[in-house]
Structures are given as structure tokens and as C-alpha cells.
């Protein structure tokens, strides 16, 4: 086994703290990655605090991982020692169900293996994520990363990037489409950048007037304050697509009314309470509400290549690992633009 240093949540209420654990040895189809940067996702916080249930403590979060390959198994053909690599939200799936065969492993009918807090296939331990100094992953779930980029800003693409890229591609967003983005956080700021790069007219829908300058800087063409009834009237029945990234309870009726006939609102956030929606809002306009998860491995690689080609990166604040608990508090308060990323070199200076 490989001795590993990391940070873990030991229960729902205590701060994350240093943790020693073991990873499996590198098998014939495995890649060992020295982790350089790991993004901090809202999912990390929800899982660490047990808010989604099923937390297998200790939990080592982190699924926005960028690092350098330091060892490969004898049968690995896609990667070599010294190359940069990424790991997103999945590290395994059944590989045989229709979804896996179609390249959408995120919808694996057996359930994909998450990068952290999932049963590790063949072991009695859960998977441990990227708040650590290295990780062992099957080569089929490793992504290629171009080295000539700001690697810290690439890390959040492994979750926030693919979560917003996948629905834009699936629904064919492009030139001539009018797209609204609800929520200007880690997901929302990537949705703005990506949709604008694809040629869509992008509007940010926000309750906060003071976010307008930020929205424009990210590439939004319009900004609507949803608390202003007159502003809402101007965009009633206007949008082809609404990308809703909000995880709080919001009025789906209000947002759905902004869709044109045959428009679609795509939900990316999971509110703690079930939202209310009047069927008539959809029926009288043949509107749709859909959901989207992350993307499959092939699509995630496509997204990384697309972002590299178009110079699309996450807006981040780099932190040391010993600042993670403060980062969680600030994330809850919305005090980050727009993603925290941990410099994992700082882990070497902790007492584990």
C-alpha cells in the first residue's frame, strides 16, 4: 500500500484536519498522480458535513484534481511518467451497462465510483479524494491536461467546467440562441464563459444588482435583476435555454415563464427542498425542465481540449490546505470569486 497524507472530515461537526491513510498499489492499468492543485467544490462541503447522507468518515474530499504522473502500470498505454493529468468526479464505473457503453459513465446504471466517499472496488475502504498528496486511478478515468496553462485555474474545470459544458453541448447551444444563467458562482461563472464562447447571447439573472459588472467581465451580454418586476417583463418568453445553477429553493415557475415556446430550463443545482412548479407554466408554451449531471470521460476530455483552445479558465483564489475550514465558511457566505483551489504543495508543511 502507498502511504498518503491528506486532510479529512472525521465527523459532520468538526473542522477538517490532517489525516494519514493508505492508497492501493499501482496495478497494471493504474496511474499514480502527484497532486499539484485541487479545486474546492460545494459538494465537498455538503459531503464533509453529512448534509447529503451516506458520509463514510473519515472523508477526504476533492474531485477537481490536476497533477503530474509519477508512475504507471505495466499495461498503461495512454499516459507516461512526467505528463500532466487530471481527475474529475469519477474514478470507475461498471463499463458494461448501456450508459457506460454509450460513453456517459456518469449515468452508470450500477452507479459510478466517485472520486471520494464511494466504496472502493475490491477494497474495504472508501475512495479518498484530492485533498491529498497523490492518488491512484485507472487510466480510463484519467484526463490529459496541457502543461502550458495555468494549472491551478484548470483544476475547477474537472467539475464546474464539465457540469456546465455538458448540457450546453447536449442541447446544442450555439449561434443565435438566447441563454440565461441563474447563479453567478462556481458553476454559473463557467456557464457564462462557455455559453458566450459558443456564440450564444448570454444574460445573467440575479437577485443582486451589484453583480452586473462581474457578469459583464465574464462575458455576459445582458443582466437582469429578478427582484425588479419591470426588468422581468422585458424578458418574459425570451430565452431558448436557462442554465439554473442554484442549489437554494427558487421559484421554478418564475424562471420557466421566461422561456420562449419550446424553451428548456436545465437544472444543475440540487435544492434541499423540492421546488414547486405549476404544470400550466410548461403546458402553455410546451416548455421543458431538465436536469444534467457531469459529463462522461470522453466529453470531459473534449471540454478540457475546448477550454485550452479557447483560453477558458476558472476564476480562482488559491489557498493553502490549512485554510480549508475558513474557505468552507467563506464559500457558504458566497465570499469567493469564483472557486477556491488548494495548492497541494502546502500539505507538505502540515503536521500529519
Lowest mean pLDDT among 93-97, 296-300, 334-338: 334-338
Give the pLDDT score at 276. 84
Which pTM was predicted? 0.96
| pLDDT tops 60 at residue 269 | yes
Q: Each residue of 80-135: pLDDT tens digit?
A: 999 999 999 999 999 999 999 999 999 999 999 999 999 998 888 999 999 999 99
The region of weakest confidence among 154-168, 181-195, 213-227, 268-282 is 268-282
**What per-residue confidence (pLDDT) applies to 122?**
85
What are the grid coordinates assigned to 57, written together?
468518515
For range 302-331, the mean pLDDT: 97
Q: What is the mean pLDDT of residues 57-67?
A: 98
Residue 352 has pLDDT above 60, yes or no: no
- Mean pLDDT, rounded, for 129-143: 98
Q: Quote the pLDDT of residue 351.
A: 58
What is the share, in percent, of the chain residues with pLDDT greater than 70? 99
Question: Percentage of residues in the chain with pLDDT exceeding 90?
Answer: 91
**Residue given cell 467581465 in the structure block:** 217
Average pLDDT, the chain: 96
Residues linked to residue 4 through DSSP beta bridges, in sequence order: 21
**Alpha-carbon gap, residue 352 to 336, rounded angstroms:** 28
Amino acid at each position: 500500500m502507498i502511504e498518503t497524507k491528506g486532510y479529512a472530515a472525521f465527523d459532520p461537526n468538526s473542522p477538517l484536519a490532517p489525516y494519514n491513510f493508505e492508497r492501493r498499489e499501482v496495478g497494471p492499468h493504474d496511474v499514480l498522480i502527484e497532486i499539484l492543485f485541487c479545486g474546492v467544490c460545494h459538494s465537498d462541503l455538503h459531503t464533509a458535513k453529512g448534509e447529503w447522507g451516506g458520509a463514510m468518515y473519515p472523508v477526504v474530499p476533492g474531485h477537481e484534481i490536476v497533477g503530474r504522473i509519477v508512475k504507471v502500470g505495466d499495461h498503461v498505454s495512454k499516459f507516461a511518467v512526467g505528463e500532466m493529468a487530471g481527475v474529475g468526479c469519477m474514478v470507475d464505473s461498471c463499463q458494461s451497462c448501456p450508459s457506460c457503453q454509450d460513453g456517459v459513465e456518469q449515468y452508470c446504471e450500477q452507479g459510478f465510483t466517485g472520486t471520494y466517499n464511494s466504496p472502493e472496488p475490491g477494497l474495504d475502504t472508501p475512495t479518498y479524494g484530492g485533498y491529498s498528496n497523490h492518488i491512484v486511478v485507472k487510466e480510463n478515468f484519467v484526463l490529459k491536461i496541457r502543461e502550458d496553462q495555468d494549472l491551478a485555474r484548470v483544476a475547477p474545470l474537472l467539475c464546474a467546467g464539465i457540469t456546465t459544458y455538458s448540457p450546453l453541448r447536449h442541447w446544442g447551444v450555439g449561434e443565435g440562441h438566447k441563454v440565461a444563467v441563474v447563479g453567478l458562482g462556481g458553476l454559473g461563472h463557467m456557464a457564462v464563459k462557455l455559453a458566450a464562447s459558443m456564440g450564444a447571447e448570454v444574460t445573467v439573472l440575479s437577485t443582486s444588482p451589484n453583480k452586473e459588472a462581474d457578469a459583464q467581465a465574464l462575458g455576459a451580454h445582458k443582466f437582469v435583476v429578478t427582484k425588479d418586476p419591470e426588468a422581468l417583463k422585458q424578458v418574459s418568453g425570451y430565452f431558448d435555454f436557462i442554465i439554473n445553477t442554484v442549489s437554494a429553493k427558487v421559484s421554478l415557475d418564475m424562471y420557466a415563464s421566461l422561456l420562449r415556446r419550446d424553451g428548456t430550463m436545465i437544472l444543475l443545482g440540487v435544492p434541499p427542498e423540492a421546488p414547486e412548479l405549476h404544470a400550466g407554466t410548461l403546458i402553455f408554451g410546451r416548455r421543458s425542465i431538465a436536469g444534467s449531471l457531469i459529463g462522461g470521460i470522453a466529453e470531459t476530455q473534449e471540454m478540457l481540449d475546448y477550454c485550452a483552445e479557447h483560453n477558458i479558465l476558472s476564476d480562482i483564489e488559491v489557498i493553502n490546505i490549512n485554510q480549508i475550514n475558513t474557505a468552507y465558511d467563506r464559500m457558504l457566505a458566497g465570499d469567493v470569486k469564483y472557486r477556491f483551489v488548494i495548492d497541494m504543495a502546502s500539505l507538505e508543511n502540515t503536521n500529519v
